[in-house]
Amino acid sequence: MITDIESASPALCRLQLGSELRQLRQARGLNGRQVVRKLLWSSSKLSRMETGENATVEPSDVIALCEIYGATHEKRAMLQGYAAVTKTRSDWWQSPEYRPVIAPGFKAFLGLEATASTLQNYESEFVPGLLQTEAYVRVIYERAHQGKSAEEVDNLVTVRMNRQEVLRRKRSPLKLTAIINEAVLHRTVGGPEVMRDQLNHIVELATTLPNVRVQVVPFSCGAHSGMNGPFVVLQFPDRAAMRSLVYLENMADAWVSRREGDMERYEEAFGDLQALAPGPQESLNLIKKAVKEH
């Protein structure tokens, strides 16, 4: 439960609102089909509300659900307060300069990342986004988005750098465990100087921030469970209300999966990678060695 609604972010309010509404529905013994039939809603509308995916939530919709669920006066007032925040304030990535350059799938991910307690990221081709330097990410975006204007690239870079604030937020900073394929250390992105700065930046974050853990999967490990591609596993403070999910992306699309079978596979794969890779200190030594090679 959010103790200070006025200072809470819209993303956090959406997540908490969805969690509370889902708990009320389940306590009433109702399934989603029964609720949407009463309100003449689409099933996706209720699902998006309960998972916190809508950018805004109408207070009138919350009132309608509270009527069906028989919520107390105090609960109704609290949930309407959450909805009001989503209507009166916007998350930073919803601002006009960023909206045009952020794909819908990634926009949903930003809201989830902003409210997650733990993020587990395996990357095979480049440094994880939360650990990237501005120079490194600029080179990647200039290469990947050659049709975009300089202003659009600047906005994409700013989005990436703003994301990293979750590692230093005052209220429960995000706990990041990043596992990197050794190839990432040797792929020269932007030239030797950019790479040296980038790799030193990883070492600095991993040694100064207690919530950041980095491991490297060396070539000598051979075949491993991450060879099918990169992935992100997100976990949330209230795991009973908001289950873990996996985020995946490729050149054409980005999507979130909450399917139990998918989660089991990816959580198991990440655990295998953690066990296979050298520990944090030995991994940082590999990164420092790569700095010298650049």
Separation between Cα atoms, residue 171 and residue 237, nearest integer Å: 12
| Residue 32: predicted pLDDT | 93
| Residue 11: predicted pLDDT | 80
Position 96 confidence tier, pLDDT thresholds 50, 70, 90: confident
Dihedral sign (CA 19, 161, 230, 200): negative
In this predicted structure, the answer to whether residue 24 has a pLDDT above a threshold of 90 is: yes
Q: Name the residue ranges covered by the structural domains of the chain.
A: 5-90, 95-293
In this predicted structure, the answer to whether residue 158 has a pLDDT above a threshold of 70 is: yes
| Residue 88: predicted pLDDT | 83
| Residue 182: predicted pLDDT | 97
**Which tokens belong to 245?**
């999910």
Position 140 confidence tier, pLDDT thresholds 50, 70, 90: very high
**Which tokens belong to 273?**
């990678």
pLDDT tens-place string over residues 99-122: 888 887 787 788 888 888 999 999
Domain 5-90 has CATH 2.40.30.260: no
Question: Between β-strands 231-235 and 245-249, what pairing exists: parallel, antiparallel or unpaired?
Answer: antiparallel
| Residue 159: predicted pLDDT | 92
**Which tokens belong to 272?**
């295998």
Position 240 confidence tier, pLDDT thresholds 50, 70, 90: low
Complete DSSP assignment for 224-253: -TTTT--EEEEE-S-TTTS--EEEEE-SS-
Percent above pLDDT 70 for the chain: 96
The Cα diameter of the chain in Å comes to 66
Closest CA to 121 of 85, 55, 175: 175
Neighbours of 185 (CB within 10 A): 22
Percent above pLDDT 90 for the chain: 63
In this predicted structure, the answer to whether residue 6 has a pLDDT above a threshold of 60 is: no
In this predicted structure, the answer to whether residue 201 has a pLDDT above a threshold of 70 is: yes
| Residue 258: predicted pLDDT | 82
Q: Is 0.95 surpassed by the pTM of this model?
A: no
Separation between Cα atoms, residue 285 and residue 182, nearest integer Å: 12
**Which tokens belong to 287?**
């990164």
| Residue 97: predicted pLDDT | 84
| Residue 286: predicted pLDDT | 97
Position 241 confidence tier, pLDDT thresholds 50, 70, 90: low
Separation between Cα atoms, residue 17 and residue 83, nearest integer Å: 7
Residue 185 identity (one-letter amino acid): L
In this predicted structure, the answer to whether residue 74 has a pLDDT above a threshold of 60 is: yes
**Rounded average pLDDT over 1-29:** 79
**Rounded average pLDDT over 184-202:** 97
Q: Which fold has domain 95-293?
A: Endonuclease; Chain A (3.30.870)
Q: Residue for token digits 């703003």?
A: 162
Mean pLDDT of the chain: 90
| Residue 223: predicted pLDDT | 94
CB 227 within 8 A of CB 219: no
**Rounded average pLDDT over 156-181:** 92
Separation between Cα atoms, residue 11 and residue 249, nearest integer Å: 21
Separation between Cα atoms, residue 145 and residue 149, nearest integer Å: 9
